[in-house]
Amino acid sequence: MKKIKFMALASLCFILGLQSCQKDESSITDEEMSQTKEVSAELIEKLANAQINTNNVKLVDYYLPDGTTKEMIEMEGDIYMSEEEILALDEVSENGRNYRTNNLVSQGKTITIIGYTGGGGYGLSNKERTALQWAVNNYNALSGVSISFQLSYGTNYSNKDMVVYHNPNQSGAGGSAGFPSNGNPYKFVQIYGLDNYDTNVVEHVITHEIGHSVGFRHTDWFNRASCGQNVNEGEGSIGAIDLGGNDPNNSVMLACFSSNEDGEFGIDDINGLQIMY
């Protein structure tokens, strides 16, 4: 059963966001590596002092739905932050292993989310639109959770809280996002390379990236075991607050996904959202 890494944006999905936080490392070519921009020593030191893993940190051009790019710093393959956000991080001492960020979406907020339908390869396919609808339905079906989602489709995302779109320029398969700030979810959720997966897997990836956008860390952030790794993403000043749970292997927020995901929340995901909101 092949495991795919969530690699791409989160604000760590603020600093740590997955492409589905997931990307197949084998798909990264020597040419791509040679084009990788270097992150300044100042930013690396800032990340390290905030107890954030500095392995494979790089500057990237982050694609927006209109095809323009914004320079961001990528961490853990699917989490992104701007230089300004990193410089604003507080220095912290390393402590416990946990599961959500310090920042959350404002309680009771109705999050306006739009599935992008524009051209240039950035619009969602019919399968991706269906998967987005399923993911939003799952969030909205939860009881005891104060936030909810209002879904629409179109191209005018400027006044929306979140936009989900396809990135045709990203290699591998997965998605990316970021973490909440100022009471709002991370706005840009991108997915890519999922054409050969069924709708349930696409639903899983979108659910995962929306999870980052509302404050979830990876369930296995402390070792990324679902990717066959032993790498600690770092708690950092963004936080990794313990939400408890007894069934982590069935979490939609594991760092890597497989080709047989059903796209549904695990019981610990539901309990975690009820604790958060």
| Domain span at 8 | 3-23+97-276
Please report whether residue 162 resides in a domain. yes
Q: Which CATH number covers residue 236?
A: 3.40.390.10
Please report whether residue 86 resides in a domain. no
Please report whether residue 57 resides in a domain. no
Contact (CB, 8 A) for 206 and 232: no
* pLDDT tier at 97, thresholds 50, 70, 90: very low
Please report whether residue 61 resides in a domain. no
Residue 76 sits at the vertex; the CA angle it makes with 48 and 27, to the nearest 5 degrees, is 140
Chain mean pLDDT for the chain: 82
pLDDT for residue 78 is more than 60:
yes
**What SS3 string covers 211-236?**
HHHCCECCCCCCCCHHHCCCCCCCCC
Please report whether residue 7 resides in a domain. yes
Number of domains within the chain: 1
* pLDDT tier at 21, thresholds 50, 70, 90: low
Please report whether residue 85 resides in a domain. no
pLDDT for residue 224 is more than 70:
yes
Has this prediction a pTM greater than 0.75?
no
What is the rounded distance in angstroms from the CA atom of residue 214 to the CA atom of residue 139? Answer: 11
What is the rounded distance in angstroms from the CA atom of residue 268 to the CA atom of residue 183? Answer: 23
Please report whether residue 48 resides in a domain. no
Please report whether residue 75 resides in a domain. no
Q: What is the signed CA dihedral for 247, 51, 7, 155, rounded to 10 degrees?
A: 100
What is the rounded distance in angstroms from the CA atom of residue 60 to the CA atom of residue 7? Answer: 12
